[in-house]
Amino acid sequence: MNALENKTVAIIGAGSVGASTAYAVMIRGSAMNVRLYDIDAARVEAEVLDLAHGSQFTGAGEVSGSNDLREVEGADVVVITAGAKQHPGQTRLDLAATNVDILRSLMPQLLERAPQAIFLLVTNPCDVLTTAAQQISGLPAQRVFSTGTVLDTARLRWLLAQQAKVSRQSVHAQIIGEHGDTEFPLWSSASIGATPLAEWEVGGEQIFTSERLNSVADEVRNAAYHVIRGKGATNYAIGLSAARIIEAVLHDEHAVLPVSTVLRGFRGIDGVALSVPSVVSRRGAEPVLTTSLSESEADLLQQSAAGLRHVQKSLGL
């Protein structure tokens, strides 16, 4: 029997990110059943029709959706993409108050309809919303997490691979911390194959100087802003990132991905959601407590936590 038979993903929000996530789930065959929910009945009906018309060319089975929350019932994974959109010049944290209010209304209704689900948040600011969702639901932290820096890590590996002239799959590097302006790469453990990043050579020259690494980190941090300026939103890459995380859950992969969960005792951090390498499986996401950090990286993680803690306090979280 197919391990994904009858596995259902419910996606909340049929905007560009929600629809792109549904499309990615379908073409990757991440789940057999895809359901979309949105308060805009005409929009969700149109998106479902468009997806369903091409479903015979994908690995998905049933595609459905409506403006009725019954779409969520019995889902194995609930993906939350609904919320106010990030505009040019606006940071992810600027969205916090509006989207936390939306979540306070939405989360109890979702939990009632899918009490056994894993909840994956995509809406920004995803770290703050992960903390809010975990508090509102009362679920164990492992069952409520966000895409975190999975996409940021993909951006980092893509940039490093281009400069190192190797495949993306050969680059082992991660972004952790806030999914936002205080995120940072784990340079201390980054490598290409088995070669430490700082020792990698192109044409006999070690190319990854501290200046170049700083430039790469800055480009990753600002990548979303660049895309938003050009087209108004980021949607394809985050949809693919969400689909990858969904697969890790439904396949019970125990894959290590830098998703964001509410940390409890990780490097002394409590009650704040941050991205750190985590084991993602059918149980949800569990931080890898033995993750190696340099002293400066540990300090940066504390700074990320302090910034988010300040925002959470202002929102009553």
**Which residues belong to the active site?**
179
Residue 179 CB coordination number (10 Å): 30
In angstroms, the Cα distances linking 84 to 100, 101, 103, 180, 226 are 10, 11, 11, 16, 19
The two beta strands, 171-172 and 191-192, are antiparallel
Separation of alpha carbons 161 and 97, rounded Å: 37
Cβ atoms 278, 287 nearer than 8 A:
yes
- Burial label for 10, CB within 10 Å (0-12, 13-18, 19+), is buried
d(CA 42, CA 316): 35
| DSSP code of residue 282 | T
Block residue for tokens 């996606």? 11
Separation in Å, CA 191 to CA 105, 125, 174, 288: 44, 29, 10, 19
Q: Among the residues of 87-178, which ranges form H helices?
A: 96-113, 126-137, 150-164
* Exposure letters 244-272 (e unless 16+ CB within 10 A, then b): bbbbbbbbebebebbbbbbbeebbebebb
Q: What is the DSSP code string of 239-268?
A: HHHHHHHHHHHHTT--EEE--EEEEEEETT
Rounded (10°) angle between helices 150-164 and 236-250: 110
Dump strand ranges (E) for 268-313. 269-275, 278-281, 284-287
